[in-house]
Structure formats: C-alpha cells, structure tokens
Amino acid sequence: MELLLIIAVAVGVLAYVHYNKIVSAYNRVQRAWSDVLTYERQKIKVLDVLEPQVAGFQEYESQLLEKIVGLRTAITSLPSVADGDALKSVDQGTKALLGGLNLAFEAYPDLKSAGLLNNLMREVAEQESNIGGAITLFNLSVENFNNTIQLFPGSVVNQLTLKKSLITPFSDSQASAGFGYKPNF
C-alpha cells in the first residue's frame, strides 16, 4: 500500500511540474509575440510621420503612400494571440515599402536632400532590425513550447489537462527560396 502511495505522489508531482512547464512555455510564447507586436506598432509611429512626407512627393512616387497605408493596416490587423503566419503580410509589406523608398531615392535625387525623409528611412530600417530580433526570440519560444507539449511526459499532461495546440513559428518563404541548401527533413 505504501508503494502505491509513493508512486501516486511521484506521478502527481511529475504531472504538477510538467503542467507548470507547459503554462510557463506558453506564457513565454505570448510574451515574445507581444514583443513582436510592440515593435510592429512602433513602426506605425514612424510610418505616421513618414506618410505626410511622402505625400509631399506624391508626384514622384504615388505608390509609396499606398504601401505605407497598406503596411499600417496590416500591422494593426495582427492578432493578439501568437501566430507566425499572420506576420507574413506585414513582413512582405515592409520589404515592399523599403524597396519603394530606395527606388524613389535613386530615381529622384532631390528626395535625398530631405534629411527628415532619410532619418525616417533609417528609423524604419532600425525598427525592422528590432522586429527581426523579436521574431528570432518568438520562434525560439515557440520551439520550446511545442517541444514541451509534444515530448513525454508533457504530452500526456497537456492532453489530460491544458489541451494546448502547437503554435506556428514565423517563416519567410521568400528568404528561404533564395538559399541553395535545403535541409532534408
């Protein structure tokens, strides 16, 4: 009888520990996703200043204004729950915007004299760098969480108690298409 009690207590402690690991890992993913959203929303602040500046040069490049508005809309529509797939349209919009601004600077030398516009371009690029770092941390947290709910005994604890689903990490299909090396998994 004592042996059964010891086994029951051991299993209970093991379940308790893994339950807490799952909750902790899930919370880290949500915090990492919040960091990504924070940087994306900071980029909106820069876009809000950039938009009137580009509007002044609309005769040169009317598509830039559309890209800024589209990017702001995509950022504000990001879900509050972690979802790597949702970030793809924002990432593509940022790349399109930066490419358009670079083309405008090259095509119209008088835009280069606008110091404010240059500073805003640097700020957008810096925000994009911050977002890249936040995405790296997000994907690391997603990997840790997914491992926690897939590996034994966490998988059993998850199925019996929390029933959390796998979270999709962010991936950039355009960037990965440019690599010659493809892992064989």
pLDDT, tens only, 34-51:
898 888 888 888 778 777
- Residue 42 in any domain: the answer is yes
Give the number of other CB atoms < 10 A from CB of residue 74.
19
How far, in Å, CA of 95 to CA of 101, rounded? Answer: 10
- Residue 122 in any domain: the answer is yes
- Residue 103 in any domain: the answer is yes
pLDDT at residue 92 in the model? 77
State the residue range of the domain holding 68. Answer: 2-164
87 closest CA partner among 179, 172, 176 = 172
Q: Is residue 113 very low, low, confident or very high in pLDDT (cuts 50, 70, 90)?
A: very low
- The whole-model pTM stands at 0.68
Residue 106 has pLDDT above 80, yes or no: no
Give the number of other CB atoms < 10 A from CB of residue 2.
6
Look-up of token digits 């490049």? 61
- Residue 155 in any domain: the answer is yes
Q: How many domains in the chain?
A: 1
Helix or strand holding residue 71 (H, E): helix 62-76
Stretch among 58-62, 70-74, 90-94 having the lowest mean pLDDT: 58-62
- Residue 182 in any domain: the answer is no
- Residue 21 in any domain: the answer is yes
- Residue 20 in any domain: the answer is yes
Residue 122 has pLDDT above 60, yes or no: yes
